[in-house]
Amino acid sequence: MNHIVEAIGNTPLVKLNNVTDGIKGTILAKVEYFNPGNSVKDRMALKMIEDAEKAGLLKPGGTIIEGTSGNTGMGLALAAIAKGYKCIFTMSDKQSKEKQDILRAVGAEVIVCPTNVAPDDPRSYYSVARKLNQEIPNSIYPNQYDNPSNSAAHYETTGPELWQQTEGKITHYAAGVGTGGTICGTAKYLKEQNPNIVTVGLDTYGSVFKKYKETGIFDENEIYPYKTEGIGEDILPKNVNFDLIDLFIKVSDKDAALMTRRLAKEEGLFVGWSCGSAVYGALEYAKEHLKEDDTMVIVLPDHGTRYLGKIYNDDWMREQGWL
């Protein structure tokens, strides 16, 4: 390969064997930490940059400015190294220290912003990124939440991979919902192949998605602080196409953290926190609805190294009252 970004995609599907007790059907995990930046976000980060170049929005020597919970930043940083751009990332202060350190290690500038402010507050990581984009010449703000290249990357790569890897046998597809790109881009492709495929969106308590899907109401009372990183939102990103997501299941921080640890211990999958959310919620659905000949695929977005100071740290887990 000519550069590390050429290694993105074609990640393996791995059967879950031990956390699936009592569940009918086949449960497969799409293990996205095999991407070079150790997450699913490498796919859309590269696509957003390449589409910005084609549109003439990003010129040589330019600066990429993005609000990220960490993984999109890593993907953008790898693309930036390959193509000669600078990166500035804004993050909320709830994200793990490891994520900040990893981004700095690959040459990015990281600005940490408060979590518990409204999205339109000038201190929020969304607002700070937008302001920097206005101030810095030859810069772009890809805005993964509303950028159609995010969903398009998964329509072009993740969806076809799942269809081929399961030989068209996939009946259920489950993924956490944050920006919406992974779940909706993939679901669009899969439903074009077989409209009966059920898409299960995993949400978290403190996020607006589930209630909005069920009632059409954006309820600010649903918004409150939560600890899980990378899923749930206090906004409605344009990449979340609710027509493509058949239902939402909410998963608590604790259930997600404990399932993440089980995946490491019982399946050898050393994955990130929202992977536990995805598996816990998907299996709750599977217990009730999956039949013997069904095949469910769950996306595992990232790697456990991002969470060594949190869910893989016994002291931190005890402080939360979870161990």
- The residues assigned a catalytic role are 41
Contact in structure between 159 and 189 (CB atoms under 8 Å)? yes
Degrees, nearest 5: CA angle 230-235-237: 75
Calculate the alpha carbon distances from 44 to 41, 156, 203, 318 in Å.
Answer: 6, 10, 21, 36
User: Could you please report the per-residue DSSP string of 11-70?
Assistant: PPEEE--STTTT--SEEEEEEGGGSTTSBTHHHHHHHHHHHHHHTT-S-TT-EEEEE-SS
* Tokens read off for 307: 């969470």
Contact in structure between 229 and 94 (CB atoms under 8 Å)? yes
User: Could you please report the per-residue DSSP string of 296-309?
Assistant: EEEEE-BBGGGGTT
Coil, helix or strand at residue 262: helix
Strand 63-67 to strand 295-300: parallel, antiparallel, or no bridges (unpaired)? unpaired
Residue 62 bridge partners (DSSP): none
What does the alpha-carbon distance between residue 211 and residue 205 come to, in Å, rounded to a whole number? Answer: 11
Contact in structure between 89 and 109 (CB atoms under 8 Å)? yes
What does the alpha-carbon distance between residue 163 and residue 229 come to, in Å, rounded to a whole number? Answer: 28
* Tokens read off for 66: 């993005």
| Dihedral pair phi/psi, residue 96, rounded to 5° | -65, 150
> What percent of the residues of the chain are helix, what percent strand, and what percent coil, each to the nearest 5?
45, 15, 40
